[in-house]
Chain A
Amino acid sequence: MPTTAPQLDPAERKRHRTSHARDYGPGFIVKLVLMAAINALGVYGLLACWNAGAMGLFWGLLVLLIAADYVYFSKRALPGKYIYPGLAFLLVFQIFVVGYTVYVSFTNFGDGHNGTKEQAVTALLAQNERRVEGSASYPITVVENDGELGFALVTQDVSICAGAQVGDVCVGTADEPLARVDGAQADGGTVTSVPGWRVLTFQEIVTDHQREVTELRVPVSEDPESGSIRTTDGRNAFAFMSSLEWDEDAGTMTDVTTGTVYSPNDRGMFEAPDGSTLNVGWRVNIGFENYITAFTDARYSGPFVRILVWTIAFAFLSVVTTFLLGLLLAIVFNDERLKGRKIYRTLMIFPYAIPGFLAALIWSGMLNRSFGFINQVLLGGAAIPWLTDPWLARLSVLGVNLWLGFPYMFLICTGALQSLPGDVMEAAKVDGAGKWRQWKSITMPLLLVSTAPLLISSFAFNFNNFTLIYMLTRGGPRFSDVAVPLGHTDILISMVYSVSGLDGTAARNFGLASALSIVIFIIVGTISAIGFRQTRKLEEVM
């Protein structure tokens, strides 16, 4: 300890006593600018959420923004300053989505049940429109703006264009009901120009936009019950009214042509007394039904169990085969006298350095039945259905994964072998242990202790190795006895992908897909937890 304290001039002493947070250096200015930008963005976001009526997003964003300001301007939240950015992303894109998956798994979210009840009502009113019998026809002009089509017409009947006088020009699109526009010109009953819009010629309609025009529905007002106008020829439009009538007080739909009353049921559908339902429903909570479907509905439970068994077998065998080959090679090359070890090692880890999706695609070509390199060149033209026969496809998947995975195992086994304690081996040798005994009682247990956690993560990784399966076989060949599009090499995660309908091959069923995701979470989590516990036991033994 120095006996005389160094003499500081007053200014310097003052700086040392003040908190770092009050130090208005360049760092503080950077922080201020960044926080100003974040707050500006945040406030803009809050306004946007408010306008769009997205209140969930609004509150989430508000909490994140207040937390950010507190953390970066408070003196007491020092660790928070470092954790906040990662934590914010983690909360939104990992923890929230996992929680949301749980929520969706308890609903019937999917095609036919996409939104809220109000959205379902609007969609039903629009979808069940019929031409009003004997209604007048309105001469229209088709207009286009940046790819969006609309109808323009000269008002004769003020009931179809709110706020317009007879003779005014009104324009409407699929999203915007008919409304008066200023500055448009008309020649007799035909609109010739509309500001901001381009008038399509009849020729353009016929050649380029025929289907879009005949499918276009322009609502008459914001209220879906007031109907819409549609055209069949691009020149004359007719009034369409919904054949359904929404009774807001009773909460029922009435079919005006038949008089049938549909009331909402607990499945998120409008149901008539005879049990028939309307084709658009809304999202409701259905409890454990998705889970029950996965395990008991004959369409899913059969393939689910087969896929579950194959997934476990695939993940387990992948780890075992790659580990054995990697270990074997690690032992072979664990001899310092061997020349060129570095070259061998570098060349051998090539498969590991190729992105997995490319490797799987290359192998899918090489294993092609008719043109592939394996059949054509290595097997002299044999047409072996590597990827289209159920068992051969499974074998191919394991074989390709062996090629992809053995370098990783080789690397970690080499590392583990090189870090074995030499003195223990020495002692065993002195005690007269043979080579086999040394291997069985010392090398192998020590090796397993250091590699077991990696083997467990490798198992968990392969359990969800979607890329390999999808690139190589797309889950095929298809089960011949099952209606849903699933196949012999599908693993659970690719089954979830098919069931979700996001690949466009089947109807979307987000609820069931989420339930399956949760089942996978539970399986992988349990296996990992048990595995890690066993590993710890292994360590205690040593």
Chain B
Amino acid sequence: MAVPELHRFKLDNGLRVVLAPDPTAPVVGVAVHYDVGFRSEPEGRTGFAHLFEHLMFQGSESLEKLAHFRHVQSSGGTFNGSTHPDYTDYYEVLPAAALERALFLEADRMRAPKLTQENLANQIDVVKEEIRLNVLNRPYGGFPWILLPPVLYSTFANAHNGYGDFVDLENATLDDCAAFFDTFYAPANAVLTVAGDFEVGRARELVEKHFGDVPFRPAPPRRSFAEPRPAEELRGFHTDPHAPLPALAVGYRMPDPVGELDAYVANLVLAGVLTDGDGSRLQQRLVHRDAIVTDIGAGAGLFGPFEARDPDTFSITAIHAPEVTGDRVLKAIDEEIDLLATTPPDERELAKVTARWVAGLHSDHDRMVSRTLALGAFELLYDDASLVHGLADRFAAVTADDVAAAAKALRPDSRAVLIVQPEGGSK
């Protein structure tokens, strides 16, 4: 497949723009990534970045509350937004005819969102329902993305709950919203991505027309969230009122996703060798041979790879039977990782993981929404959207020794172990 054409430029107000034309279907994707996620929240305002994401849908100077949704959907499109550790994204996928409308909608809320007390109160209620739905009322809610960071990390930025505590959410004020917007939602702190069926010159004109007069504000200086790696094994415990079976999550620090991209990719291959498919190391050992876990998974990034800067988390999670101790599961994981560190995977093991990654990348590329979001996230985090197109080659270039080295770095004396016990489990 030919590498798709990319056009990247910057407006006078600092907004970075990525255009990725593709005429294969009469559909366009539009995304805006803002360089702020839940790691930037101040203490006492946990969950604020996500709450703010909700507020950005609630109206702007040109659009009443609910109008944003109606304009996207009555154009035949779909939309959403999501909050990550280091960025917040907003996106629409629409029939190509609605390109200008989508650009207008994103520009209008970047220029002048209408932040009101009424909408803030309403969206605090909605977010609390979202948390009840996804965390409080469900087994393994927040496992491991909310529960593991406070064990692995020591600073507020890295350790706190990105969904937020109810008390913090309820205390959020309109002035907090204004300060957050003026600080982080500047055009110079954002990336606009347009993918799909359009003519490049025309799209560029439309981008200038709608975003060109969003006034410049300086991007905030980028904070470092660096903190030392654990100097010992850290342990945390959580009692889950709904879970029927115990679970555990192991968290390790990993190479800088941006500064050490190839080492980071080697960790993704490592995750595949460990848990991807029935023939993977940990599936074979723990699920099939020892039969001590129901399911096991490993991966980089608590929402997926390439969604955070340093520090990022490599995690292994397992749900196991009550008669099996967490330490027994841990011991088996450690033995397999040790084995991998000393005897690197063979060619076929690597080829399996690489082929699945290549197919997965193609599949992501085929869905307009995932393609648009990947281009925007790479432009934001790596200053280079085109890296997306080179990922398959980078995966293919990972050697057996790279994987063994990545396994060797998953040290028992520098990690976090979270033990989840069912509420009835200890009785």
| A, B assembled together | no
Residues of A within 8 A of B (CB): none
